[in-house]
């Protein structure tokens, strides 16, 4: 079954009203007809099974058949602060992070990041990245579409995470799996958790020292050095397993 997102305002009088690009996708790409069923999510906490009733050029009306509450979101908000990687790795990271339950992805321009984005390139990348997040949210049955934030500096990223309950920074020089497990066990439902991942080459020592001074916990992911596109997925997988109820 295909799934689509609407706003709560588009749910009314027993119907879901689909607008925007999804109309063209349903009409001309999927070539769906009246009477077929789709899944609808309001981007907050409710999902619906609907039957397409009228398919117009600008909007589609779908009759609500069943309604359910949030069954797919993690009980904590996980924020991935991802050091900008090379080539198209960011697209893979966003796709998999959304599948694993991330709440928001924040690209970070670190010292060792090779990629440098000017304003025009950043706008183009953000549009592409958010489209990937939306597609991944639909595919994985998410109740909401995680946003990809504009690119932040490390200083801005630290400030952004200031009010979070727990902040973690996997670091290849960190020691002590026992200590790491104890820190991860602090993550509980209802928390906001920041995860800082370095680019290729990892974080600069001074960046890690600054992070520690900001109260961010350095942790180890084991004896092997993970690629940037693997480290974040490892952290999200560990926390997803720990938080799932």
Give the 3-state secondary structure percentages of the chain, helix then strand then coil, rounded to 5.
35, 25, 40
Same domain, 26 and 144: no
Same domain, 100 and 43: no
Same domain, 192 and 214: yes
The number of domains in the chain is: 2
Handedness of CA 197, 164, 117, 89 (dihedral sign): positive
CATH classification at residue 52: 2.40.240.20
State pTM to two decimals.
0.83
Q: Minimal CA–CA distance to 102: which of 128, 133, 63, 131?
A: 133
Q: Minimal CA–CA distance to 63: which of 3, 10, 16, 11?
A: 16
**Contact in structure between 228 and 203 (CB atoms under 8 Å):** no
Same domain, 190 and 222: yes
Structure confidence at residue 2 (pLDDT): 87
Same domain, 116 and 65: no
Contacts of 198 (CB under 8 A, 6+ apart): 83, 110, 112, 171, 207, 228, 231
Comparing 142 with 129, which gets the higher pLDDT?
A: 129
Same domain, 44 and 106: no
Q: What is the Cα–Cα distance from 160 to 153, expressed in whole angstroms?
A: 10
Residue 155 predicted with pLDDT over 80? yes
Structure confidence at residue 70 (pLDDT): 62
Same domain, 123 and 207: yes
- Over residues 168-211, the pLDDT tens digits come to 999 877 778 888 999 999 899 999 999 999 998 888 889 999 99
- Over residues 116-137, the pLDDT tens digits come to 888 888 899 999 999 999 999 9
Pairing of strands 46-55, 59-69: antiparallel
Range of 54's domain? 3-69
Pairing of strands 15-19, 11-12: antiparallel
**pLDDT confidence bin for 71, thresholds 50/70/90:** low
- Over residues 3-39, the pLDDT tens digits come to 898 999 999 999 999 999 899 999 999 999 999 999 8
Same domain, 177 and 88: yes
**pLDDT confidence bin for 111, thresholds 50/70/90:** confident
Same domain, 35 and 99: no
Average pLDDT, the chain: 91
Query: CB count, 10 Å around CB of 204?
Result: 14
Structure confidence at residue 73 (pLDDT): 86
State CA 112 to chain mean position distance: 23
Q: What is the Cα–Cα distance from 83 to 106, expressed in whole angstroms?
A: 9
Same domain, 239 and 129: yes
């Amino acid at each position: 079954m295909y799934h689509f997102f609407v706003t709560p305002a588009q749910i009314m009088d027993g119907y879901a009203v689909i607008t925007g690009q999804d109309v063209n996708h349903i009409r001309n790409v999927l070539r769906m007809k009246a009477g077929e069923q789709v899944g609808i999510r309001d981007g907050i906490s409710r999902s619906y099974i609907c039957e397409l009733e009228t398919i117009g050029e600008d909007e589609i009306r779908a009759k609500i058949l069943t309604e359910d509450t949030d069954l797919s979101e993690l009980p904590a908000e996980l924020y991935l602060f991802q050091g900008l990687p090379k080539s198209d790795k960011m697209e893979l990271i966003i796709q998999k992070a959304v599948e694993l339950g991330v709440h928001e992805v924040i690209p970070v321009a670190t010292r060792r990041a090779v990629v440098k984005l000017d304003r025009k390139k950043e706008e183009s990348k953000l549009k592409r990245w958010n489209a990937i997040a939306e597609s991944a949210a639909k595919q994985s049955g998410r109740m909401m579409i995680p946003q990809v934030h504009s690119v932040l500096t490390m200083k801005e990223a630290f400030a952004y995470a200031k009010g979070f309950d727990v902040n973690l920074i996997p670091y290849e020089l960190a020691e002590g799996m026992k200590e790491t497990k104890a820190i991860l066990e602090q993550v509980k439902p209802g928390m906001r958790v920041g995860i800082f991942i370095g680019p290729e080459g990892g974080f600069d020592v001074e960046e890690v020292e600054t992070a520690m001074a900001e109260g961010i916990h350095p942790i180890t992911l084991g004896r092997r050095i993970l690629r940037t596109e693997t480290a974040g997925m490892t952290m999200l997988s560990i926390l997803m397993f720990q938080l799932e109820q």
